[in-house]
Structure 1
Amino acid sequence: MNHPNGGPAAAPRRGDTLPVASAGENLRLALTYLLPNYLKGVFRGRPRLAALMARADAARRGHETLRGLRRRHGRGPVMVRGSAGPTLLVLDAEDAEQVLAGPVEVYAVDTREKVSGFAAVQPEALIASHGRQRTVRRAFNDAILDAGCPVHRLADHFLRVAGEEAAALLGPRAEAGLDGAALRAGLERVGRRCFLGEAAADDTEFSRLLGELLAEANWMGARPWRAAATRRTRRRMMQRQARYLGEADPRSLAGLFPTTRKEPETAPEGQVTHWFMALAVVHSAVVQALTLLASHPRQLERARAELEAADREHGARTVAGFMDMPYLRACVQDAARLWPPVPSLMRRTTAETRWREVAVPGGVNVLVPAGFHARDGERIAFAHRFAPEKWLDGTAANDWAISPFSRGEAQCSGMELGLQLATGFLAELLRGGTPAVAGVRLSPGKPLPHTFDATRLRIGIRAVRPKEDA
């Protein structure tokens, strides 16, 4: 019999307590794990600082710190000093599953950091909500994004859009080498067309304003003197967004708003921003997967063979073709596992939780270092290599500690849609030719680095020239 929050039901013995990190351990954790993740940007990447953290190999040092804590204190949670006070640091895969599989009413997602950060961007966002607000907003997001469905109801159009925008990058420009900014601009157009409609395709000002807000959100409310300017920026962005929501392009997510149930607490216009934030996840996954395929010939050959077979059978940019590309989709998933877009999953407890035989009162923060668990070489044989096949045989898919898109009740409502867009975009780039990469060194014969630094990255796509007749 299990405890209601997912933990073992054994009663705690008198005097049982969880281990507490020492002052030195807390300092090392802050310097090697917490601070680098903050500096890289929580809501929007800070490229220069991310490059600096990569050169310092901060991710590897952070993982070493976490392994050291587990060796000294055992596999159970360790009480540490986090950015928002006492925090349970989850170092065991079983405990990670307890948190992620537990109810969000107990393991709440609206931590202080998220609430303060989203206050600048979208205070009504699902991820900063709790209780009834979260329930109705989650229902709205699930309905619009077709959460849990293999393909979105508008996937036929969305895959065409992803293909068109990726194809627009091909040719001499791609042969010379694409950088991360070019790929991001293409995916932002995908987002504007699919989320807001064709009228928003060229509205780069909307994306610029959102980027400005996300950059401010990185400060998590620590710059109150910027509040008035931030409100003005948000007002301008929301005015542009309202124009597209009013037009309700039927081939976009905005076009689904009129027929989707809403409650007084739903704030439908307040959910859109987070969908655009998720495009950063799609962008990272595409760039990382393309780079991995360019540097791993065996996986590239299998992905191309699958793509060509699906195109012959169903045609390019089709739903049926997408469904016949599970390996390419798995490449996207494993790229996100190796370098997760959100390396730490934060929760706050609202009631007593139990960790094996130790009961902990509610009101503490819980940190699940998702990046650490996905690259835990002491537990996972494929931790440091590109292994898309592990998503196909269920090894990765069934491992709750591997959670690049979170899990359980807090899993991203748009996970399936994000995978569709990423896979469709990546497929079109591979149709364009053979990828080659410069600025990043990845080798199938060596453990992959803990950090993916895209600041110097250039991906060339060389079109396959038809052979001349003899």
Structure 2
Amino acid sequence: MSDTIDAPGLGDRRAVLPTASRSENLRLAFVYFLPNYVKGVFRSRPRIAALVARTDPARRGLELMRRMRRRHGRGPVLVRGTSGPTLLVLDAEDAKQVLAGPVEVYAVDTWEKVSGFAAVQPEALVASHGGQRAARRAFNDAVLDAGCPVHRLADRFLRVVGEEAAALLGPQAMEGLRPDVIRERFERAGRRCFLGEAAADDVEFSRLLDLLLAEANWMGARRWRTGRTRRIRRRLMQRQARYLGDADPHSLVGLFGSAPRGPETAPEGQVAHWFMALGVVHAAALQALSLLASHPVQYERALAETESADRAHGPRTAAGFQAMPYVRACVQDAARLWPPVSSLMRRTTAETRWRDAVAPGGVNVLVPAGFHARDGERIDYAHRFAPEKWLDGTAERDWAVSPFSRGEAQCSGMELGLQLATGFVAEFLRAGELAVAGPRLRPDRPLPHTFDAARLRLGVRSRRPAEGV
């Protein structure tokens, strides 16, 4: 029998929630919480992440959670999390309950986010609750065109991301591009799209933000560095203010004037998180390109779709992007296979019911996105590259598959991020044949649980002419 805790039920009934054993908590700490923490929550620590990848913690964590579900039932299971008692959600229906639930009950401003963003952007949407969150969400939704398939500035943004991708496709691409080189181009595209053309070469802005995100990884533990952190943030905000004061109308900051705002909106406090999310977009695009380079069937379909869209609408256009649903689906499935955020954290503000059990308010809830996306006991495409599952609605209908979260807490910039990533991938497809070295990604074998970007080299060579031409 599993350990249990009493929780007040309805009426005169007593309900129970299963509780992880001491050994399960210990294993969970070492194979799940600790690896995710040490490799960097807000900003990847490349060298440490490479060392962690060798131990394949994602696979070990998935196996442990599968054993816990078999032992305890559907759950959720009460575990010791990084910031106190945490409900570990191991059932797909329970995951939907959390993600589809109101943010007033399943709040997003957990201790990890609040303490981490205190160093970077304390006014960020993801560290807000109540009226503050409502005001900041409305602003973010308006500027980022949340819920719209195509952003109003999509034509310009796709041109920018195409230009930055094309700048990588010279002789160096024949030899193989390193992830950090690709990331630098993505950051430049982000500065042009988010802050305007004047910020294109402002690498100091990106450097300062990197320093803050690196400090955010410590979640306030290094109090002796508070003064230094404040000085860095002040310098970052001063540089950012240049672009907000004389805003480029073809950038996101140029849309601030038409977005709803109030006393608690803090428009300037939302920008840093967009750049942090850009790292997620970069990772998804890199993973999608690596998968396409190693999966000939999917590559040929994506290439044919890109060429057809270019013929009909021209390259780097919003209409062309809309004609490339399969390329977009490749990005989505890459993010499913290796979620940019492996743990979706919430905190409850009231009692929550889980079938016959009731949990008190004030506990954390963890939806392990990586576990649910690779749950081979539940989905038949768990460990293979399956963009078609996004086209036929299978993945979209499955709330437990949530690389960009779901419901009221879904990222406001999800659609925009997918546009940028799709445009970047399409530019590589136009350039020639893709080649990848490093990660072992084979279509005839289950894909690895961990994507080790440190060893990745992404190449593009001239496309071979068809036989007889």
The TM-score with structure 2 as length reference comes to: 0.97
Conserved? CA contact 1:175–1:462, under 8 Å: yes
> Which segment drifts farther, 425-434 or 142-151?
425-434
Alpha-carbon distance in structure 2 between the residues aligned to 1:177 and 1:244: 35
Give the secondary structure class of the aligned counterpart of 2:346. strand
Question: In the TM superposition, what whole-angstrom CA distance separates every residue of 1:269-313 from its partner, at most 9, and x where no partner exists?
Answer: 000000000111111001100000000000000000000000011
Equivalences for 1:219-298 in 2 at 5 Å? 219-298=218-297
Match of 1:416 in 2: 415
Change (3 A) 1:465 1:384: closer
Give the secondary structure class of the aligned counterpart of 2:435. strand
Pairing 1:50–2:58 present: no
Match of 1:165 in 2: 164
CA shift at 1:64, angstroms?
A: 0.9
Match of 1:309 in 2: 308
Match of 2:347 in 1: 348
Match of 1:95 in 2: 94
Question: In the TM superposition, what whole-angstrom CA distance separates every residue of 1:327-374 from its partner, at most 9, and x where no partner exists?
Answer: 000000000000000000000000110000111110000000000000
Match of 1:4 in 2: none
Alpha-carbon distance in structure 2 between the residues aligned to 1:170 and 1:186: 11
Question: In the TM superposition, what whole-angstrom CA distance separates every residue of 1:22-41 from its partner, at most 9, and x where no partner exists?
Answer: 11111011011111111111
Match of 1:6 in 2: none
Conserved? CA contact 1:66–1:91, under 8 Å: yes
Give the secondary structure class of the aligned counterpart of 2:78. strand
CA shift at 1:15, angstroms?
A: 2.4
Instruction: Give me the identity figure in percent.
Output: 76
Question: In the TM superposition, what whole-angstrom CA distance separates every residue of 1:148-183 from its partner, at most 9, and x where no partner exists?
Answer: 000000001000001100001101011111110111
Alpha-carbon distance in structure 1 between the residues aligned to 2:466 and 2:416: 38
CA shift at 1:14, angstroms?
A: 2.1
Give the secondary structure class of the aligned counterpart of 1:199. helix
Match of 2:371 in 1: 372
Give the secondary structure class of the aligned counterpart of 1:41. coil
Equivalences for 1:63-82 in 2 at 5 Å? 63-82=62-81
Alpha-carbon distance in structure 1 between the residues aligned to 2:16 and 2:63: 25
CA shift at 1:107, angstroms?
A: 0.2
Conserved? CA contact 1:12–1:357, under 8 Å: no
Conserved? CA contact 1:370–1:403, under 8 Å: yes
Alpha-carbon distance in structure 1 between the residues aligned to 2:338 and 2:301: 22
* AA of the residue aligned to 1:229: R
Give the secondary structure class of the aligned counterpart of 2:453. coil
Alpha-carbon distance in structure 1 between the residues aligned to 2:18 and 2:466: 67
CA shift at 1:468, angstroms?
A: 12
Match of 2:215 in 1: 216
Match of 1:5 in 2: none
Unaligned runs of 5+ in 1: 1-9
Match of 1:358 in 2: 357
Give the secondary structure class of the aligned counterpart of 1:229. helix
Question: In the TM superposition, what whole-angstrom CA distance separates every residue of 1:226-262 from its partner, at most 9, and x where no partner exists?
Answer: 1000000000011000000111100000101122221
CA shift at 1:100, angstroms?
A: 0.1
Give the secondary structure class of the aligned counterpart of 2:441. coil
Give the secondary structure class of the aligned counterpart of 1:48. helix
Match of 2:385 in 1: 386
Alpha-carbon distance in structure 2 between the residues aligned to 1:374 and 1:467: 38
Alpha-carbon distance in structure 2 between the residues aligned to 1:248 and 1:365: 40
Alpha-carbon distance in structure 1 between the residues aligned to 2:318 and 2:120: 34
Match of 1:175 in 2: 174
Change (3 A) 1:25 1:12: farther
Give the secondary structure class of the aligned counterpart of 1:149. coil
Give the secondary structure class of the aligned counterpart of 1:18. strand
Match of 1:32 in 2: 31
Alpha-carbon distance in structure 1 between the residues aligned to 2:379 and 2:98: 20
CA shift at 1:59, angstroms?
A: 1.0
* AA of the residue aligned to 1:81: R
CA shift at 1:11, angstroms?
A: 4.3
Alpha-carbon distance in structure 1 between the residues aligned to 2:52 and 2:66: 19
Match of 1:3 in 2: none
* AA of the residue aligned to 1:332: V
**Over aligned residues, Cα RMSD in angstroms?**
1.3
Conserved? CA contact 1:110–1:129, under 8 Å: yes
Aligned length: 461
CA shift at 1:13, angstroms?
A: 6.4
CA shift at 1:217, angstroms?
A: 0.2
Alpha-carbon distance in structure 2 between the residues aligned to 1:151 and 1:292: 25
Question: In the TM superposition, what whole-angstrom CA distance separates every residue of 1:71-119 from its partner, at most 9, and x where no partner exists?
Answer: 1100120001111111000000000000000000000000011000000
* AA of the residue aligned to 1:452: F
